Amino acid sequence: MAMMTGDQYVESIRKLKMKIFLFGEQIDNPVDNPILRPSLNSVKATYDLAAQAEYEDLMTVKSHLTGKPVNRFCHIHHSTDDLVKKVKMQRLCGQKTASCFQRCVGMDAFNSLFSTTFECDKKHGTKYHRNFLEFLKEAQEKDWTVDGAMTDPKGDRGLSPGKQADPDLYLHVVERRKDGIVVRGAKAHQTGIVNSHEVIVMPTIAMTPEDKDYAVSFAVPLDSENLFMIVGRQSCDTRKLEGGTLDVGNCEFGGMEALTIFDNVFVPNDRIFLNGETDFSGMLVERFAGYHRQSYGGCKVGVGDVLIGAAALAADYNGAHKASHVKDKIIEMTHLNETLYSSGIACSAEGFKTESGNYLIDLLLANVCKQNVTRFPYEITRLAEDIAGGLMVTAPSEKDLRDPKLGPYVDKYLRGVASVPTETRLKILRLIENLTLGTAAVGYRTESMHGAGSPQAQRIMIARQGNVEMKKKLAKAIAKIE
């Protein structure tokens, strides 16, 4: 099968019989739901861009398994060039959607499992790498969107998985059969899961031998029996039900998150990638986290490009674009955004070949990249809100603007530069609101803090990778200390 078009992707999701709950009710299909459709459009854009000749080099690549062209989101990195192009592709997708396009987690799961299963098989004589290669080949052939599920609810953070009051607070194996395993638990904050064909599940932390039932990784279809999703709330999400577009801010694209429940889900043997090998759970977590922290040097930068452009337009429409302090704020936003990008490129360029043959990023620089992402988007957001002004959060609704009696007053008193229609000014202010406070904030501001691990998780890795002892030796050599 050739790569899907965007329309073919949409229809493939429509055919799945997923169990999705939103506002306490089961919805028939995410394709037709006005709250979820913008998030589907963001994924659809990754298929549409792959079909455009000008983006072919970034969006597509030849599979090392089949020799056929595949979407880069289904690709295994085999060079530092692949790693760099990944980041550039993510920036492009962020620029085109101004939201989370939801396929990065699956791509990062592919690459972390590729090397981890190889090394696990070498030590334990397991067949996980073969299982994974067959799954990957199918994902490439069918051009699937695959979600990645790592984060467990965790319960009491002071207790290990097996010591929790409720053992299901970490997903675990509850039955081992000749033909497979049965798992129970949940995965939280699942970005784009209702827009995916399959989900790869991974452990959320390094496991000790007594928690071997929690050291499990596998893939299942999203319409598997006993698997269902509860969609999370987002600020301003019900605006999408109002029928207009102005108050939404981002008229076409968006993101979504869900709590995904595995209530005794069966996994066949050929879909299992880790099953009790606790000594490889930490490797899988560390490599996935590294790849995903690299990702933020691309996707968040692309969305940042849109936010910088929106802030600059707001200054234009307010008549403040010539003010020196406004110019300086735009410069600072650009400086911070490009610093994030440079970290993403740096950890890619410093990548190295693993024993399995694929390339891993420089883990120290990837964690530095994500540590910066936990800070800089907040300052970019603050500056955008500063430039936009208070009207960003106090403007009347689109219905007021359209009202025959109220509309003329809204138009008269909320106009900025006389040559710019009031509606145009309000559109850009609503876009800034969407990116900084509304539904897209999930994919930009707040996710910048917690996505791919909390700030402390990166600081732990920076401490581990920082090689302070080597730096002490350098200082001793310079100071002539024996």
Residue pLDDT, tens place only, 116-133? 999 999 999 999 999 999
- CB 123, CB 274: distance < 8 Å: no
Residue pLDDT, tens place only, 388-423? 999 999 999 999 999 999 999 999 999 999 999 999
pLDDT of the residue at 275:
98
324-349 and 376-388 helices cross at what angle (nearest 10)? 160
Please tell me the CATH code under which domain 289-473 is placed.
1.20.140.10
Residue pLDDT, tens place only, 155-208? 999 999 999 999 999 999 999 999 999 999 999 999 999 999 999 999 999 999
Name the band, by pLDDT with cuts 50, 70 and 90, for residue 2: confident
* pLDDT cut 70: percent of the chain above it: 100
Which strand (E) or helix (H) includes residue 231?
strand 227-231
Question: Mean pLDDT throughout 8-17?
Answer: 98
Q: What is the DSSP letter of 28?
A: S
pLDDT of the residue at 253:
96
- CB 171, CB 186: distance < 8 Å: yes
CATH T-level topology, domain 6-282 = Butyryl-CoA Dehydrogenase, subunit A; domain 2 (2.40.110)
Question: What residue ranges do the domains of the chain occupy?
Answer: 6-282, 289-473
C-alpha span between 434 and 75 (Å, rounded): 32
Q: DSSP letters along 146-199, please?
A: EEEE-----SSTTS-GGGSSSGGGS-EEEEEETTEEEEEEEE-S-TTGGG-SEE
pLDDT of the residue at 1:
67
Q: Which residue has the tokens 């002004």?
A: 389
Using CB atoms within 10 A of its CB, is residue 231 exposed (0-12), middle (13-18) or buried (19+)? buried
Q: Which residues are catalytic?
A: 100, 104, 191, 257, 292, 296, 299, 447
pLDDT of the residue at 64:
96
Question: Mean pLDDT throughout 44-52?
Answer: 98
pLDDT of the residue at 74:
98
pLDDT of the residue at 442:
78
Please tell me the pTM assigned to this model.
0.97
- CB 229, CB 21: distance < 8 Å: yes
Q: Which residue has the tokens 């229809």?
A: 11
281-318 and 80-97 helices cross at what angle (nearest 10)? 40
